Amino acid sequence: MSDTGNLIIVSNRVAKPKPGGRAAGGLTVGILGALRDQGGTWFGWSGKLVDREPRDAQISEHDNIRFATIDLKGEDYEAYYNGFSNRALWPLFHHLLAFFSFDRADFEGYFRVNQIFARKLVPLLEPNDTIWIHDYHLIPLAGELRKAGVRNPIGFFLHVPFPGYDMLESLPNHEFLIRSMCAFDVVGFHTQRDLDSFHEAVKQPEIGGTVDSDGRIHIGGGSLFAGVFPIGIDVEEVSGLADSMYDDAEVTAMRQSLDGREMIIGVDRLDYSKGLALRFRAYERLLENHPAHRKHLTLMQIAPPTRVGIRAYDEIRNELEQASGQINGRFADTDWVPIRYLNKGFSRATLMGFFRSAQIGLVTPVRDGMNLVAKEYVASQDPESPGMLVLSRLAGAAHELETAVLVNPYDIDDVADGINRALVMPVEERRERHSEMMTVLRHNDITAWRQRFVEALHAERKT
């Protein structure tokens, strides 16, 4: 054990490496890197549902990292995950009130699961450990750990946006949520905008916090640090993969099937926050307004399903099938189909090869904490003749990738014009914009992200 103690990572799911399993995604690689540096444990739900009270955490070890997982009761999971986390917090934090619904029983289940996490985690903790908790599923966890007498530094990183107070107020127990976030020692966000919204929330009279000039928040006799820690990617890993996968058989076959046409690529979990229906409409508008692109352009949209069983997610799936069918029906010809809509996932390596093969990366969420796809697309490009990123201003990534073609995803004419601008952009301009984006990606890469956060957490030991 190092003198800084072990790092304990807590998240809803634990990405345990499986023998022969798929290569881990960027965030998982970042977390595993942090655990390898400091030594430690990754704690979370096992993915298994049971019908009795969950047993103590099951521990296993790979590569010097401990994995500790617990099962959950089916009804608890339904209320905690599908219910409060994904029907209330996810849409609310993404400013999408039309998808928001609140149910007291769901909130109770959410709170109960956080209590279970605390109860099962406490016996695994040593006095010198630092604890880093991830995302909106686990906001009350620090408070529950404190009640159980845990004195270790506890950090929280929010992977999704943090909304303004007028939006938060729609949640009946928003005050509880804000106070719960203040039970952490360090709270991290992707962007300054999210941090500003958090400050606005803690300063509300009913919350009663103050923010000093160093960014420390003082509340109820205690204090915490809240800061901006933009998540990044492993730039060299992504560009290396893209380079080596360009000639892979599946990637080559896909490129050959384009028959010399240019390709726009979209890769998103099938989620209403990703703006996919509007994206299809924007592409349709491009084909309407710029008929020269017809037959010379293909949109390949990859959208692996997630959160299956939540109604809004089943609905978006139907909506997209209809929209792509209708646009293809309107414009397709015997030798050309405008949209290839793929409702499935691909290996990480294949995806990077696809990114390298696409002239445009189209990333148009209606709201996104950061959006790693935007960063991966940029890092996958050939610096000599890079493809261009068309990026929603409402993604956290737009705060860093200022030289992408920035668009408002709600304005389909703006998106259509943005794609057109990117398609006709001279290579010198593309190179210049790409090189500026790469500088930002390297400065804020995945290692910088985790090291900055863990450093901030260690600093809390002394205060």
Active site positions, annotated: 159, 368
Question: Between residues 25 and 240, which has the closer beta carbon with respect to ligand GDG?
Answer: 25
Residues in 375-434 at the binding interface with ligand GDG, rule: CB under 6 A: 376
**Chosen residue from 12, 41, 85, 371 binding ligand GDG by CB under 6 A:** 371
Query: Residue 69: which of 6, 132, 135, 124 has the closest Cα?
Result: 124
Query: Residue 204: which of 154, 180, 168 has the closest Cα?
Result: 168
Query: Residue 160: which of 190, 198, 192, 200 has the closest Cα?
Result: 190
Task: Work out how close the CB of 305 gets to ligand GDG at its nearest, in angstroms, rounded to a whole number.
Answer: 10
CA atoms of 294 and 333, how far apart (whole Å): 10
Question: Between residues 207 and 352, which has the closer beta carbon with respect to ligand GDG?
Answer: 352
x/- binding map, residues 160-179, to ligand GDG, per CB under 6 A? x-------------------
Query: Residue 156: which of 112, 110, 114 has the closest Cα?
Result: 114
**Does residue 27 belong to the site contacting ligand GDG (CB under 6 A)?**
yes
**Does residue 121 belong to the site contacting ligand GDG (CB under 6 A)?**
no
Residues in 185-244 at the binding interface with ligand GDG, rule: CB under 6 A: 231
Residue of this chain nearest to ligand GDG (CB atom): 345
**Does residue 369 belong to the site contacting ligand GDG (CB under 6 A)?**
yes
Structure tokens at 416: 């259509």
Task: Work out how close the CB of 155 gets to ligand GDG at its nearest, in angstroms, rounded to a whole number.
Answer: 14
Stretch that binds ligand GDG, among 25-33, 63-71, 139-147, 308-316 (CB under 6 A): 25-33
CA atoms of 266 and 257, how far apart (whole Å): 18
Residues in 252-311 at the binding interface with ligand GDG, rule: CB under 6 A: 267, 269, 302, 304
x/- binding map, residues 83-112, to ligand GDG, per CB under 6 A? ------------------------------
**Chosen residue from 13, 15, 16, 25 binding ligand GDG by CB under 6 A:** 25
H runs (alpha helix) in 6-127: 26-38, 74-77, 90-93, 104-121
Tokens 């149910």 identify what position?
Answer: 103
Identity of residue 139? I
Question: Between residues 100 and 111, which has the closer beta carbon with respect to ligand GDG?
Answer: 100
349-376 core/surface letters (b: 16 or more CB in 10 A; e: else): bbbbbbbbbbbbbbbbbbbbbbbbbbbb
Taking every pair of Cα atoms in the chain, the longest distance, rounded to a whole number of angstroms, is 71
Strands laid side by side in the 186-189 sheet: 58-62, 65-73, 40-50, 7-13, 130-134, 154-157, 186-189, 222-228, 216-219, 210-211
Task: Work out how close the CB of 287 gets to ligand GDG at its nearest, in angstroms, rounded to a whole number.
Answer: 25
**Chosen residue from 87, 137, 348, 450 binding ligand GDG by CB under 6 A:** 348
**Does residue 351 belong to the site contacting ligand GDG (CB under 6 A)?**
yes
**Does residue 11 belong to the site contacting ligand GDG (CB under 6 A)?**
no
Task: Work out how close the CB of 205 gets to ligand GDG at its nearest, in angstroms, rounded to a whole number.
Answer: 31
Task: Work out how close the CB of 207 gets to ligand GDG at its nearest, in angstroms, rounded to a whole number.
Answer: 26
**CB within 8 Å of 76: residues ≥ 6 apart:** 109, 112, 113, 116
Structure tokens at 399: 């705060």
Stretch that binds ligand GDG, among 10-18, 124-132, 345-353, 439-447 (CB under 6 A): 345-353
Stretch that binds ligand GDG, among 55-63, 106-114, 176-184, 343-351 (CB under 6 A): 343-351
Q: Are strands 216-219 and 222-228 parallel, antiparallel or unpaired?
A: antiparallel
CA atoms of 46 and 15, how far apart (whole Å): 9
Task: Work out how close the CB of 157 gets to ligand GDG at its nearest, in angstroms, rounded to a whole number.
Answer: 8
Task: Work out how close the CB of 340 gets to ligand GDG at its nearest, in angstroms, rounded to a whole number.
Answer: 14
Q: Are strands 405-407 and 388-392 parallel, antiparallel or unpaired?
A: parallel
Question: Between residues 66 and 159, which has the closer beta carbon with respect to ligand GDG?
Answer: 159
Question: Between residues 144 and 376, which has the closer beta carbon with respect to ligand GDG?
Answer: 376
Q: Half-sphere exposure of 404 toward its Cβ, with a 13 Å CA cutoff? A: 31
Question: Between residues 125 and 389, which has the closer beta carbon with respect to ligand GDG?
Answer: 389
**Chosen residue from 75, 345, 399, 436 binding ligand GDG by CB under 6 A:** 345
Structure tokens at 120: 């099962």
Q: How many helices and strands, by DSSP H and E, does the chain display?
A: 17, 16
Neighbouring CB atoms inside 10 A of 310's CB total 17
CA atoms of 151 and 174, how far apart (whole Å): 25
3-class DSSP state of 46: strand
Task: Work out how close the CB of 108 gets to ligand GDG at its nearest, in angstroms, rounded to a whole number.
Answer: 26
Contacts with ligand GDG, residue ranges (CB under 6 A): 22, 25-27, 159-160, 231, 267, 269, 302, 304, 345-348, 351, 368-373, 376
